[in-house]
Structures are given as C-alpha cells and as structure tokens.
C-alpha cells in the first residue's frame, strides 16, 4: 500500500497544480535552503542552454520537480517535468523488465540458450544464455566495434544480430567475466519480440508503459509515433551548441532507445516498490548483485548497477547524459535527465541525494 501512495503522490501533485492554477513545471516546494543548494548544483543547466529535468522523491512525495534550461534551442522551448529525453542506457532496466515479464508468463527461461531464440548466431555463442545477456557476462562482441566503415543509415536491433552472426568468437567464455555489452541488450529486445509475437515497442507499451500510466514514454523509431514534448540533444563545440540528436546507433532500441520524462519515471519508480508490474521474485532477481563489474565498488543485477544500498543506472548517448538513482530502503529517488553532452550528471545527482538524506553511496 505504501508504494501505491508513492505513485499517487505524483497524480495528486499534478491535480493540485491544475486546481490551484499553478504551473505543473514549477518546483515542488522543497525546503528553501535545500532549493538554493540544488539550484546552485544545477546552475550549468540554467538559461538559454540545453537543459535538464530533475526529480527528487522522498518518502513518496516530490521534493524537487522542475526543469532547467531549454529542450530545443532553435525555438526557445523550455524543459518541463513532462519533457521526454532519450534515456540511453537507462533503457536497459525496461528491457530487463520485459524479459522478466515473459519469464513470469512461462514464455522464456532465464537460462535458455540465446540460440534457442536466435539460431543464426555462430557456434561461439552456443553456451550464452539469456541470464548472461542480462548481466553483461556473455562475452559477445560489441557491435560498435564491428560496424562496417562508411555506414550511412542507422542500425536497428536486427542489424546488430546480423553483425554478430558474422563474429564466431567471444571476448571470454560465457559466465566467466564481466564486460558491459550493448550487444546483449539489443539481442534481448529481439528475444522479447520472438517470444511475445509483438514488436519490442508494442510489448513495452502494452505490458509496461500503458499499465503504469507512462503516457508520454515510448521506444522511438523514425517511422513510429513522434516523441511528445521531445528534448533534442546538443553538444558543445567551439564555445557554442550544435544539435547532435541522433547517431548511427540511436535506433537500436534494446540498449538505449526509450524516451521518457521525470514524471513518467516517477510512476516507473513507484511500480518497483511492489508487485503491480513485476512479482516479488522478479524484482529480487533484478536488484540482486548477480556479478561484480570492472569497478570493485559496483555490482550488476538485471539492468541495474548496485552500490551499497542504492540501485542506479546512467545513460549516455550523443547529446544526452542521464542518471537514475534509487535508495529503496530510504524511500529516496533522484532522477536527472539532460539533453547535452556535458557535464556527466552522476556526481551532481549524488550530491543532491546527500542533501536529500542519502549518504552519497550511489
């Protein structure tokens, strides 16, 4: 029940804003001293520059909920809490949730050989399982390393599969080491499609976004629905800002193709506190330290990094830098989404978490 109130807090907040004639993009009335400190930390995002959206949820209530700077420089459109940013690798927690839902349905097994679903992979992938893909322990070749020279169109998840079908080697024997793998999550999106009979976009919409009321969130493809309230990505070059919104890999969905807002991610965060979406057993699997990583202070679960009592993931792609940090036992979440190549927001989010009652262990 506590988690239900957590989700309801956002809805009540938006409703109260509407009834009182308030701008729903305004601050969520934090402690004045804390607000000043947070604004100081977010100063680089303010003004006529690519901006950011920041949400701090504490005890089920929005303590900070606001936008900074611009979502689109060319029109002067401001960032608001409903602005949708490309999540980049924060997408991986949704891909893993899709896999877990299918496992709950009995459609797949976490220890299924990947070649059961993608039989065109070479012999080197014979021992790779779905669990290896989820935990970055497959050893599969990074598709970015084998992209053909002179490529002039965006890759899709199925193109990643085609590239890997021509790579009959792995970096290490599956399950013996850790190496962060966008390839693995692209393959997971294809497995979701083959096991469900739906496109990856449709599965996410029907099984995750729609049930949770994440109305503005989608896995974006050029021929599909437009991204509502879209933030465009920018990079700083020669003292100015250049739009760098898409790259050759931006259309690969499983590893980084979701767009979402801080308001929709508040609903996602709420759903991770109870069994409204995933069972207790599935959430326990996702949040468990399945493997150490190349950083001795960080473990990895299913689409989540684990540091101390925090669950988190960053997301970085051309023109976007994001981070989502959860402290479930403390009922504290910090989400910082930005449409610019710099600064990397993780340290800023940790400092905001400290101001909000965490110990900075994210």
Angle between helices 92-104 and 280-287 in degrees, nearest 10: 140
Catalytic pick from 89, 181, 250, 282? 89
Reduce the DSSP state of residue 268 to 3 states and report it. helix
196 has catalytic annotation:
no
- Rg over alpha carbons for the chain, rounded to the nearest Å, is 20
Report the candidate in 241, 254, 115 with the shortest Cα–Cα distance to residue 174: 115
Q: Which stretches of the chain are assigned E, i.e. beta strand?
A: 52-58, 61-68, 70-72, 77-78, 85-86, 218-219, 234-237, 240-243, 258-260, 291-292, 299-300, 305-307, 310-317, 320-327, 332-338
Q: Give the phi and the psi of residue 169 in degrees, each rounded to 5.
A: -160, 165
Strand order in the sheet with 85-86: 85-86, 258-260, 218-219
- Distance, in Å, from the CA atom of 258 to the CA atom of 322, rounded to the nearest integer, reads 12
**Catalytic residue IDs:** 89
């Amino acid at each position: 029940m506590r988690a239900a109130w957590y989700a309801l807090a956002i809805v009540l907040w938006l409703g109260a804003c509407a009834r009182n004639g308030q701008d729903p993009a305004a601050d969520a009335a934090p402690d004045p001293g804390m607000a000043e400190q947070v604004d100081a930390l977010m100063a680089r995002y303010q003004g006529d520059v690519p901006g950011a959206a920041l949400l701090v949820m504490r005890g089920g209530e929005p303590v900070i909920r606001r936008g900074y700077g611009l979502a689109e420089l060319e029109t002067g459109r401001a960032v608001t809490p409903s602005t949708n940013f490309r999540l980049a690798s924060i997408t991986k927690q949704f891909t893993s949730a899709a896999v877990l839902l299918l496992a709950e349905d009995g459609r797949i097994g976490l220890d299924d050989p990947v070649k059961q679903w993608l039989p065109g992979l070479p012999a080197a992938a014979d021992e790779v399982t779905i669990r290896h893909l989820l935990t970055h322990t497959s050893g599969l070749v990074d598709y970015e390393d084998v992209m053909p020279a002179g490529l002039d169109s965006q890759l899709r998840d199925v193109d990643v599969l085609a590239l890997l079908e021509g790579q009959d080697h792995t970096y290490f024997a599956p399950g013996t080491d850790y190496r962060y793998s966008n390839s693995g999550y692209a393959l997971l999106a294809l497995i979701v499609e083959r096991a469900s009979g739906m496109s990856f976009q449709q599965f996410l919409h029907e099984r995750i976004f729609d049930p949770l009321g994440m109305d503005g969130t989608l896995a974006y493809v050029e021929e599909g629905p437009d991204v509502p309230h879209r933030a465009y990505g920018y990079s700083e070059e020669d003292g100015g800002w250049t739009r760098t919104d898409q790259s050759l890999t931006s259309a690969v969905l499983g590893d980084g193709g979701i767009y979402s807002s801080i308001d929709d991610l508040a609903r996602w965060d709420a759903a991770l506190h109870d069994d409204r979406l995933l069972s207790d057993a599935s959430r326990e699997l996702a949040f468990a330290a399945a493997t150490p990583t190349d950083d001795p202070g960080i473990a990895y679960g299913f689409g989540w990094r684990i540091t101390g009592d925090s669950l988190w993931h960053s997301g970085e792609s051309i023109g976007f830098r994001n981070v989502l940090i959860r402290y479930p036992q403390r009922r504290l979440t910090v989400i910082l989404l930005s449409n610019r190549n710099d600064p990397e927001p993780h340290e800023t989010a940790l400092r905001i978490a400290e101001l909000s009652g965490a110990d900075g262990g994210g």
